[in-house]
Amino acid sequence: MKRFFIAPAQRLRIPLELACLCLLLITCSKSEVDTTDPDSGNPPVLPQNLYYPPLQASGQWETTSMESLGWDAELATSLNTYLETEGTQAFIILKDGKIVMESYFGDFTDSSLWYWASAGKTLTAFTVGIAQADGKLSLDDRTAEYLGVGWTSAPPEKEQKIRIAHQLSMTTGLDESIFECTLPNCLQFKAESGSRWAYHNGPYTLLQNVVASAVSEDFSLYFNRQLRNRIGMDGFWLAQGEGNNIYYSSARSMARFGLLVLSKGVWDSEVILEDPAYIEEMVRPSQSLNKAYGYLWWLNGRDRYMAPGSQVVFSGPLIPSAPSDLIAGLGKNDQKLYVVPSQSLVIIRMGEDTGDALVGPSSFDNALWQRLSEMMGL
């Protein structure tokens, strides 16, 4: 049984249609997008008149109808059918902070908890920014200042070159073939820091230890006080595997965080991250090797990109069918957090793997955005 909401509230049913996935993302054709490096252009303008839901989970979250936006409600019904066939548990679209579409499938509800997988890396990136704004650390600091000498198996002179910025940008130079382990013997030298981009969970996960050391407090406690509680999120961090730390929350909490990023670190009248420069840097290319990667955020609209588990550089944008200014948290089994400043949109998807079994970008991104773009008239 599925439940979905399209403002104004209604329940629609249509026959099951055949859903066609696009080819793997790397084979999708390039569309016309703005590939201008944002460092040489004007930064996105902060969306005006954003709505922020009450901090209390029981509070009413305001809605906006598709009709008022000129969107196609019939295509929204078709979209829900597609989402259900692709194993989706929860799907939300916010426009200017208000709910336009909210869908739950099976036994999933607005209070059910689900894992973010690597989409949760964006939470860590934001928390690092808070710690820097608090004067507790600097991105240029050596990681060893917080984790101690010997936190890797790299030669001492190589380890000393690894900085927090390298962890945020996936350029530590450590061997990613041991993907999640955070023990020193798993973190082996492969290349000079800053010279090689490779998606690697071990050094990323240790960013949370860096923050904990810098603020002299458990990372989860610091995160809860400085971020989660201030915007009304629920959820918790749970250690899994060989040190990997995964965030679990309701779908609405993921949407709240997306709204915070859309508003550039401001929640209503409260500034959550008092470092505008960091917020801009977080969602720009963090290095020249993979232009589609910021500080743990994926970036659309660039002229080339790299994918997890590969050293191949692909031509064209990450998600050709999506707006060029889209930024995203992308997690295993197609956990999706999309933020589109030019359209004042936040879109989230939680659920099961749609078929590619990848840890980040997948063909589902492009297939979904083809439908969204048609529905919204983008």
Each residue's pLDDT tens digit, 83-112 = 999 999 999 999 999 999 999 999 999 999
Q: For residues 266 and 260, what is the distance between their CA atoms, to the nearest angstrom?
A: 6
Q: What is the mean pLDDT of residues 60-78?
A: 96
Which SS3 state, helix, strand or coil, does residue 307 take?
coil
Instruction: Give the contacts of 177 (CB within 8 A, at least 6 positions apart).
Output: none
Mean predicted lDDT score pLDDT of the chain: 89
- Is the pLDDT higher at 32 or at 240? 240
pLDDT tens, 184-200?
999 999 999 999 999 99
Confidence of residue 213 (pLDDT cuts 50, 70, 90): very high
**Which of 19-28, 30-39, 206-215 ranks highest by mean pLDDT?**
206-215
Give me the pLDDT at residue 45, please. Answer: 55
pLDDT tens, 236-260?
999 987 778 999 999 999 999 999 9
DSSP characters for 180-212? S--SGGG--B-S-TTS-----HHHHHHHHHHHH
pLDDT value at 21 more than 50:
no
pLDDT tens, 119-162?
999 999 999 999 999 999 999 999 999 999 999 999 999 999 99
CA dist 181 → 164, 203, 204, 319 (Å): 18, 9, 11, 30
Rg (Cα) of the chain, in Å, rounded?
Answer: 20
Q: Which of 54-58, 168-172, 272-276, 337-341 has the lowest mean pLDDT?
A: 54-58
Which SS3 state, helix, strand or coil, does residue 125 take?
helix
What are phi and psi for residue 43, nearest 5 degrees?
Answer: -70, 155
Give the chain's end-to-end CA distance (angstroms, integer).
Answer: 31
Q: For residues 351 and 372, what is the distance between their CA atoms, to the nearest angstrom?
A: 18
Confidence of residue 46 (pLDDT cuts 50, 70, 90): low
Contact present, 354 and 86 (Cβ < 8 Å): yes
Confidence of residue 26 (pLDDT cuts 50, 70, 90): very low
pLDDT value at 40 more than 90:
no
Give me the pLDDT at residue 250, please. Answer: 98
Q: What is the mean pLDDT of residues 318-327?
A: 97
Query: Going by DSSP bridges, is the β-strand pair 270-271/298-299 parallel, antiparallel, or unpaired?
Result: unpaired
Q: What is the mean pLDDT of residues 337-358?
A: 94
Give me the pLDDT at residue 242, please. Answer: 72
Q: Please report where in the chains the tokens 């945020």 appear, as a residue.
A: 168
Please say whether the dihedral angle defined by the alpha carbons of residues 270, 55, 120 and 88, taken in this order, is positive or negative.
negative
Give me the pLDDT at residue 101, please. Answer: 98
Q: What is the mean pLDDT of residues 168-178?
A: 97
| Residue 41: how many other CB atoms lie within 10 Å | 9
pLDDT tens, 302-319?
999 999 999 999 999 999
pLDDT value at 24 more than 50:
no
Identity at 87, one-letter amino acid code = G
Percent of the chain at pLDDT > 70 equals 87
Confidence of residue 56 (pLDDT cuts 50, 70, 90): confident
Contact present, 301 and 35 (Cβ < 8 Å): yes
| Nearest of 38, 1, 123 to residue 341 by alpha carbon | 38
Q: For residues 216 and 218, what is the distance between their CA atoms, to the nearest angstrom?
A: 7
pLDDT value at 282 more than 80:
yes
Q: What is the mean pLDDT of residues 50-67?
A: 93
What are phi and psi for residue 252, nearest 5 degrees?
Answer: -65, -30
| Nearest of 35, 69, 97, 100 to residue 377 by alpha carbon | 69
Give me the pLDDT at residue 47, please. Answer: 63
